[in-house]
Amino acid sequence: MTNQLAPGEPRYNHYHPRKNPYLPFFRPTPNNVTFIRGQEAVLQCAVENRGTKTVVWRKKPQKTPISIGETRFITDTRFRIVHREHSLTWNLHIKDVIANDSGTYECQVVSTKRKIRQNIDLNVDESAEAIKPKITINGTLFMEKGQTLKLICNATGSGYPPDAIDWFKDGSKIKSNGRVTLTNDVSLAESTISSILSVRRGLLKDAGTYVCRTSDLQVTSARVNILNISLVAESSGVTSIGGGGTYDVQRGEEDPKSNSQRRRADTVVLIFLIVTLQLLRYKLIT
């Protein structure tokens, strides 16, 4: 007796991802890539509907896996898996790639019933010179309280842009909120990633050391100083300067000592005028 489908019930082929939406399948990624010797090679693997199943990388025809999940199973520390939480990608990175790394790599999803596999061919070009990774940071280093703080971090990968950039201030990771925005832009052609950190209505507490770090552990930092300028009186003159990256500039009243000296000088002038008038009066009488 065959199982009858209820009216409207879809027919699922348990081994076909288009007919069975619960079966893991690979999203389209490059299956033939070339990197220059010395670059960081990136072999992409993106899995849809992975669920609790495990992603395994190996190099054909070797039986020993390079990695199972995010754990490396070989001693060569140049190999690592890059997977961000909730991401579909399980990319294999090979740092300082050499000619012996050329070959066919297999990304497979393992389950108790079956395995699905995807091959990626890696070619290593030894005729050209690799681009060295580089990271820079620039932007607002001195600003007044209330202005917008803006820092830009640019990072170049070795043949492939870093996957992500994280920002830190005084050791704590920065996240977007009402005043803080983080914007990333990636250029595959130039192997670069750019991240813009913007903080509106800068406060004194925003002064400090900002660190930009890429997923391939390139790091740079910048010190931001915030000036707090307050007008205490109409008269000019800097009376106090604070430290620690935040500067308090105040314009206050004149020194009381200088006022006393001025009053004494005025008194001397007045006495001189009185004596002069008395002498002139005496001359007129005589």
d(CA 132, CA 218): 11
Q: Specify the higher pLDDT residue, 70 or 231.
A: 70
Query: In 3-state terms, what secondary structure has residue 55?
Result: strand
Residue 152 and residue 242 in one domain: yes
Residue type, 57: W
Residue 100 lies in a domain: yes
Cα–Cα distances (Å) from 243 to 154, 240, 246, in that order, read 30, 10, 6
Burial class (CB in 10 A: 0-12, 13-18, 19+), 89: middle
User: Do 152 and 169 belong together in one domain?
Assistant: yes
| Residues 121, 138 share a domain | no
Bridging pattern class, strands 165-169 and 208-214: antiparallel
Which domain-ending residue is among 125, 160, 185? 125
Residue-wise pLDDT for 113-155, tens only, equals 777 899 999 999 888 776 778 899 999 899 888 899 999 999 9
Residue 274 domain-assigned?
A: no
Residues 30 and 121 in one domain: yes
The per-type count for the chain, helices as H runs and strands as E runs, is: 1, 21
Q: Which residues does residue 201 pair with via DSSP β-bridges, in sequence order?
A: none
Look at residue 184 and tell me if it is in a domain. yes
Helix or strand run (H / E) with residue 184: strand 180-187
Place 231 in a pLDDT band, splitting at 50, 70 and 90: very low
- Please give the radius of gyration of the chain, using alpha carbons only, rounded to the nearest integer: 36
**Is residue 197, in this structure, part of any structural domain at all?**
yes
Residues 242, 141, single domain; the answer is yes
For the chain, the 3-state helix, strand and coil shares in percent, each to the nearest 5, are 15, 40, 45
Question: Do both 142 and 182 map to the same domain?
Answer: yes
| Helical ranges in the chain per DSSP H | 256-285
Tokens of 24: 């893991």
Q: Measuring CA to CA, which residue among 226, 255, 257 is closest to residue 148?
A: 226
pLDDT greater than 70 at residue 230: no
Identify whether 60 is part of a domain.
yes
On whether both 140 and 115 belong to a single domain, the answer is no
**Is the pLDDT at 70 greater than 60, yes or no?**
yes
Single-letter residue type at 257: K
The verdict on residue 211 lying in a domain is: yes
216 neighbors 40 (Cβ within 8 angstroms)? yes
The average pLDDT across 170-187 equals: 89
Is the domain of 49 the same as that of 121? yes
Q: Mind listing the pLDDT tens digit for each residue in 210-219?
A: 999 998 888 9
The CATH number assigned to the domain holding 179 equals 2.60.40.10
Task: Say whether both 168 and 211 belong to one domain.
Answer: yes
Q: How many domains does the chain have?
A: 2
Segment 179-202 shows an average pLDDT of 89
Of 6-20, 93-107, 123-137, the least confident: 6-20
| DSSP letter (8 states) at residue 252 | -
Q: How confident is the model at residue 274 (pLDDT cuts 50, 70, 90)?
A: confident
Say yes or no: 36 and 121 in one domain: yes
If you average pLDDT over every residue of the chain, what do you get?
79
Q: In terms of domains, do 166 and 207 share one?
A: yes
Query: What residues make up the domain containing 84?
Result: 25-125
